[in-house]
Amino acid sequence: MIRLVLLLFTFLALSACNTLVSSASKDLADNLSEAIQNQNDPDTVRQGAPAYLIMIDSFIQGSPDDVDLLISGSKLYGSYASAFITEPARARRLTEKSRQYALHAFCIRLPTLCDIPKSYFPDFEKALQKIEKNNLPVLNTWGIAWAGWVQTRTKDWMAIADIPKIKAIMQRVVELDPGWDNGNAQLYLGVLNSFLPAAMGGKPKLAKKYFKQAIKYSKGKNLMAKTLYAQYYARTVFDKKLHDKLLNEVLASPVAAPGMTLSNTLAHEQAQKLLNESDDFF
């Protein structure tokens, strides 16, 4: 009996220890993500992020079904790849990991919908309607990761064919909460609808609406919304006046904003580059 009690005590102690470690890992991952988002020196993030990617991997390896860690890992890999990686092959590898982490989180939270990526589009849309607001974090992360994955595979028509499904995910996010994550789903819909010219299925007018909504829901603090609005919409419709106006507004705005400082700093850099090219482009 004494041995049984000791064994039970040991098991409970180990379980409690694992819970504490998992909680500490999640807190560290959350703090890391917040610290990166609030960093105003992109070079610091560019040089330091690879070590944190490996650290996030180690956390996930220790708790492979922890949804919060998977979401953090997906976001970190996706953000790093889109912001700092110019080598196509490397960007594809990193966005693949981002997508896999996001999909695994989605499948853990919504196991009955795990197979919907393979569904025909009408069935895919119907399945998305079953997702409720409490599952917005996994849905939004999956959509963003998938969009980043496609962005690194623009010459792969099989990947491009996924765009309608990504749009459907983001539209569901907007249906559930139009202001979720400072309106970032609206921003992605703006980019996705102007990703292709109108002649190839793009929808510039719809894109314009989404870009405006993204600016509205971030209260104008997400400077990347205006930068991408200029890059993807204004350039697509050859509207130089709007293009230059948006970019000058970005450059005149402060970069510091909770959770958006790094993104805004990068938006400043991109806005200056686009503005310098404006006369040549138009």
pLDDT tens-digit series, residues 36-90: 888 889 898 888 889 889 989 999 999 999 999 999 999 999 999 988 999 999 9
Q: What is the pLDDT of residue 45?
A: 86
The residue extents of the domains of the chain are: 25-177, 190-282
Q: What is the pLDDT of residue 13?
A: 42
Nearest to 167 by CA among 217, 202, 214, 212: 202
CATH topology of domain 25-177: 1.25.40
- Give the Cα separation of 209 and 211 in Å (integer): 6
pLDDT digits (tens, 9 = 90+) for 150-192: 999 988 989 989 999 999 999 999 999 999 999 999 999 999 9
User: Confidence band (pLDDT; 50, 70, 90) for 29?
Assistant: low
Whole-prediction pTM value? 0.86
Task: Say if CB 151 and CB 82 are below 8 A apart.
Answer: yes
- Write down the pLDDT at residue 8: 39
Q: According to the model, what pLDDT value does residue 147 have?
A: 94
Residue 7 DSSP SS3: helix
Lowest mean pLDDT among 23-37, 67-81, 239-253: 23-37
Per-residue pLDDT at 23: 56
